[in-house]
Amino acid sequence: MNPMTPIQPMPFEALTPDAYRQLKHAASLKGLLKPFKGKGELEHLAQVAREIEAQLCRLMEAVVQQAGEPPYSLLKIRLVLQKTSAGSTFLRWRTRDFSRMGVAVWECQISNKALPQIVREELHRFECARIALNLQMSVVHSLYRQAMTCAIKMASAEQLLRHFTPAVEKTR
């Protein structure tokens, strides 16, 4: 089938308020903006960030699945999940043959004058979702890394304090 054949695309719905409802409850900043009493609280924050990353990944997978349906599957581009060496996942545009990657691939496709306007608009919605999800993943992954780093530093500080605390005070 020719990608320019008029096919009514399925409306993009992966990022509805319902999709974010579970994330909204877990991702409160009030848990971040408080005095942390020890490494355990920071490890808990890191764990919550990891759980949110997993939920974001599921949203990304839903977007990739929708972008893999006709008529988008007939185009020369793909929206794919890419794992990074740091352990997070991002959405990337790639050519069908995987020879090129990035927003330039999307720009080339969307500027194709033969592309039906409705498909162009849906590709725009996919791109906006990709940008937002990548931002969210980046922020949450950074929070995870920072929380883990701080937990390690707190544990080290606590260990050093114990090392230099006189034996008499240790029994109190």
pTM for the predicted model, two decimal places: 0.81
Report which of residues 136 and 87 the model is more confident about.
Answer: 136
Average pLDDT, rounded, for the chain? 85
d(CA 38, CA 125): 43
At 17, is the pLDDT very low, low, confident or very high (cuts 50, 70, 90)? low
Write out pLDDT tens, residues 24-82: 555 565 667 777 888 999 999 999 999 999 999 999 999 999 999 999 999 999 999 99
Q: How is residue 51 written in tokens?
A: 């759980």
Q: What is the dihedral of CA 146, 152, 155, 161, to 10 degrees?
A: -90
Cite the DSSP H helix spans in the chain: 17-26, 39-67, 103-110, 117-164, 167-170
Q: Which of 115, 75, 118 lies closest to 94, judged by CA? A: 75
d(CA 73, CA 105): 15
Residues forming a β-bridge with 101: 94
Boundaries of every domain in the chain: 38-170
pLDDT at residue number 38: 86
